[in-house]
């Protein structure tokens, strides 16, 4: 991969992401080479303890109100850590962190969650002989032999009325309840413990550290069940980056992620193919040739913006898409929309040419002339719109054009799939030799796969893979941490978009994305990866970030909008800004 990128964020290198299964496989491969599993746990915990101390010192330093306290005494009182442990190896890490922190002079308290009533006093020598929990048991014994204070977590029913909370009010709360082994919703004592942990840590205004992954977050999917998860400030990620930290709920619960690599898995010649790749920087764009003209940068045909009799119009979708296309630098654009919107379109985008969406002869002729066809944005879902969709997609296939399908186009595609319409197979065949990009959100993906939205959300990677297998082409599954699946030579690779923000959760943002994709694809002077689908998604996300100032160098404050109130119509100006930075020398904006 060409690593020349232009960054609007601190980390510019792509980051390989892995699933729980891959993480376990890495560990096993390491142990199979004769390396000791408890030794690895000790290393992990020791390094985490060091990080925790540094993070806490940094927090104190950054916290202006405590500056005096800090300067007047390095540690006037002992630093205090509350470490919540589960029964698995993640809990094992927690016990050892307690052990090392205590050695480093911290006052620690371990809160055991899910242990049997008398587990705390039990001699674990028998259990020790069992393989499944031996490292965690050894870790616990290590901590107990050093007299680390501990107690069992008390559920609301266990707790006696007169008893007050016995927990220390800690400076740092450490979550070692579940790691990558979490495979179902935390219930009963675990659920209560997670809520109690969050509440206690927030009340104490403490630093919240998650060991490996916040408990409650599923490493392979980024899903949190019913909002039951530890809300971390920092996640200390062991061995390799977990996919779930960077998409969906992971973005809300993980905080800053610090890698603790531990084993040299990347040096292994049988290296695992990553589950996905996290991208936060776009590829730099080369300047245009001086001796060029509009035809050198492609002609995009946007087909959408319909008005269905008796219902509302959707001209805005086509206008937003077209404006974004032009903002990326496409040479020419024609919009095939309902005649009722032509004047509105020309008022907001005089650069565009227009044609009546229902004038099939003209539109078919234009499909032959265009470099890229983007169809579906505000196209409408009625039968007439469906027939138009079929006819224009077929025309684009016949003349061998790249096709982008979004919004209502995806709706028709889903319905055509359920009817076994031949266009599905034709499109798939076309996608083997031409670029076909499809951009559903979870609701649209659910229709395309004939599933419920929660099934899509439960495993977005599986969903995007299934979309690609069923329909062919390259895909974006939109949302927080959008997934992008590209299969340039038949081999699917998944990217996670590491930029973008919740301000972009507004109507019309998807239309903007389809415009960016079309605009890049049309510019054939750019190399393949510079007009790839993940590049388009990154530009879209970076533009959204510039508008809400999630970049360190937002030198054009006139663009600033903020998350609430961000509108899709703000995007073209921001896209131009991003493209301009990407075309000049590398700039670090965060
Ligand atoms: N020696 C090692 O094997 C190492 C392990 N490491 C740590 O080990 C962790 C993985 O350990 P484990 O595989 O033991 O997994 P966990 O510690 O995440 O716990 C898994 C256990 O919890 C149970 N469980 C899962 N979901 C549950 C739920 N919702 N409610 C109740 N119980 C639930 C599972 O059935 C299983 O028994 C990593 O995340 C990492 O923190 C690291 O120390 C690196 C070295
Ligand atoms: N929370 C978020 N974080 C990052 N990006 C987001 C977020 N919410 C929405 N987006 C992005 O905004 C766009 C919204 O698209 P879509 O839902 O199709 O909107 P519409 O149909 O109204 O045009 C997608 O590219 C999506 O990834």
Q: Beta strand 483-486 with 474-477: parallel, antiparallel or unpaired?
A: antiparallel
- Nearest protein Cα to ligand 1, atom 24: 182
Q: Which ligand approaches the C-alpha of residue 38 most closely?
A: 1
Q: What is the pLDDT of residue 560?
A: 83
What is the reported pTM?
0.91
pLDDT exceeds cutoff 90 at 123: no
Where residue 587 falls among pLDDT bands split at 50, 70, 90?
A: very low
- Nearest protein Cα to ligand 2, atom 15: 510
544-553 per-position pLDDT tens digit: 999 998 765 5
Question: Hey, what domains does the chain have and what are their CATH numbers?
Answer: 36-271 (3.40.50.10260), 296-583 (3.40.1190.20)
- Nearest protein Cα to ligand 2, atom 19: 510
Q: Is the CB of 237 under 6 A from ligand 1?
A: no
Rounded to an integer, the average pLDDT of 100-112 is 97
Q: What is the pLDDT of residue 162?
A: 45
What is the whole-number distance in angstroms between the Cα of residue 540 and the centre of ligand 2? 10
3-class secondary-structure state, position 339 = helix
Rounded to an integer, the average pLDDT of 37-42 is 97
Cα–Cα distance between 196 and 230 in angstroms, integer?
Answer: 10
Contacts of 29 (CB under 8 A, 6+ apart): 265, 268, 270
Q: What is the pLDDT of residue 555?
A: 59
384 marked as part of a ligand binding site: no
378 marked as part of a ligand binding site: yes
Ligand 1: residue of 89, 132, 177 to mutate (most ligand atoms within 8 A of CB) is: 89
Q: What is the pLDDT of residue 545?
A: 95
Q: Which ligand approaches the C-alpha of residue 479 most closely?
A: 2
Its ipTM equals 0.91
Q: What is the pLDDT of residue 119?
A: 57
What is the whole-number distance in angstroms between the Cα of residue 202 and the centre of ligand 2? 30
What is the whole-number distance in angstroms between the Cα of residue 537 and the centre of ligand 2? 10
pLDDT exceeds cutoff 50 at 21: yes
Q: What is the pLDDT of residue 180?
A: 98
Q: What is the pLDDT of residue 62?
A: 82
510 marked as part of a ligand binding site: yes
Rounded to an integer, the average pLDDT of 119-125 is 50
The number of the ligand 1 atom at minimal distance from the alpha carbon of 41 is: 43
283 marked as part of a ligand binding site: no
Q: What is the pLDDT of residue 590?
A: 38
Mean pLDDT of the chain: 90
What is the whole-number distance in angstroms between the Cα of residue 317 and the centre of ligand 2? 14
Where residue 166 falls among pLDDT bands split at 50, 70, 90?
A: low
481 marked as part of a ligand binding site: yes
447-497 per-position pLDDT tens digit: 999 999 999 999 999 999 999 999 999 999 999 999 999 998 778 999 999
Encode 446-460: b = buried (16+ Cβ within 10 Å), e = exposed. bbbbeeeeeebbbbb
Cα–Cα distance between 386 and 490 in angstroms, integer?
Answer: 29
Where residue 31 falls among pLDDT bands split at 50, 70, 90?
A: very high
pLDDT exceeds cutoff 50 at 40: yes
């Amino acid at each position: 991969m060409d690593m020349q990128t232009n960054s609007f964020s601190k980390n510019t290198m792509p980051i390989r992401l892995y699933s729980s299964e891959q993480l376990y496989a890495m560990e096993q491969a390491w142990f199979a080479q004769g390396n000791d599993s408890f030794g690895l746990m000790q290393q992990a915990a020791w390094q985490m303890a060091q990080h925790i101390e540094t993070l806490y010192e940094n927090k104190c330093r950054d916290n202006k109100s405590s500056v005096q306290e800090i300067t007047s005494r390095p540690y006037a009182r002992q630093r205090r850590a509350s470490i919540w442990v589960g029964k698995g190896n993640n809990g094992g890490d927690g016990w050892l962190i307690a052990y090392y922190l205590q050695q480093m002079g911290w006052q620690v308290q371990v809160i055991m969650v899910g242990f049997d009533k008398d587990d705390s006093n039990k001699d674990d020598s028998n259990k020790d002989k069992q393989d499944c929990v031996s490292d965690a048991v050894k870790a616990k014994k290590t901590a107990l032999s050093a007299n680390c204070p501990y107690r069992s977590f008390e559920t609301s029913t266990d707790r006696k009325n007169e008893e007050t909370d016995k927990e220390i009010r800690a400076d740092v709360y450490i979550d070692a309840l579940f790691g990558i082994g979490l495979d179902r919703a935390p219930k009963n004592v675990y659920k209560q413990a997670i809520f109690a942990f969050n509440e206690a840590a927030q009340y104490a205004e403490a630093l919240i550290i998650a060991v490996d992954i916040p408990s409650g977050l599923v490493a392979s999917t980024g899903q949190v069940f019913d909002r039951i998860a530890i809300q971390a400030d920092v996640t200390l990620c062991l061995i390799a980056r977990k996919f779930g930290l960077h998409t969906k709920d992971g973005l809300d619960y993980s905080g800053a992620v610090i890698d603790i690599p531990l084993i040299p898995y990347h040096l292994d010649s049988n290296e695992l193919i990553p589950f996905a790749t996290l991208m936060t920087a776009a590829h730099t764009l080369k300047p245009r040739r001086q001796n060029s003209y509009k035809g050198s940068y492609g002609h995009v045909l946007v087909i959408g913006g319909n008005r269905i009799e008796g219902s509302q119009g959707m001209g805005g979708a086509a206008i937003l898409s077209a404006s974004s296309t032009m903002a990326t630098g496409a040479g020419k654009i024609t919009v095939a929309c309902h005649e009722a919107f032509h004047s509105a379109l020309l008022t907001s985008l005089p650069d565009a040419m227009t044609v009546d969406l229902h004038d099939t002869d003209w539109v078919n002729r234009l499909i032959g002339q265009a470099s890229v066809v983007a169809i579906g944005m505000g196209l409408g879902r009625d039968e007439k719109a469906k027939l138009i969709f079929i006819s224009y997609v077929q025309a684009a296939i016949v003349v061998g054009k790249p096709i982008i399908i979004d919004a209502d186009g995806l709706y028709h595609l889903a319905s055509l799939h359920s009817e076994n319409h031949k266009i599905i197979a034709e499109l798939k065949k076309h996608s083997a030799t031409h670029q076909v990009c499809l951009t559903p959100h979870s609701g649209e993906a659910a229709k395309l796969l004939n599933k419920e939205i929660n099934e899509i959300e439960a495993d977005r990677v599986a969903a995007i893979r299934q979309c690609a297998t069923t329909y062919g082409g390259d895909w974006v599954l939109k949302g927080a941490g959008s997934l992008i699946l590209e299969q340039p030579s038949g081999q699917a690779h998944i990217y996670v978009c590491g930029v973008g923000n919740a301000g972009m959760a507004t109507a019309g943002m998807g239309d903007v994305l389809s415009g960016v994709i079309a605009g890049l694809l049309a510019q054939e002077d750019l190399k393949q990866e510079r007009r790839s689908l993940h590049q388009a998604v990154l530009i879209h996300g970076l533009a959204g970030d510039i508008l809400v100032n999630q970049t360190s160098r937002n030198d054009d404050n006139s663009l600033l909008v903020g998350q609430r109130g961000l509108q899709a119509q703000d995007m073209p100006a921001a896209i131009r800004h991003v493209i301009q930075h990407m075309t000049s020398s590398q700039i670090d904006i965060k």
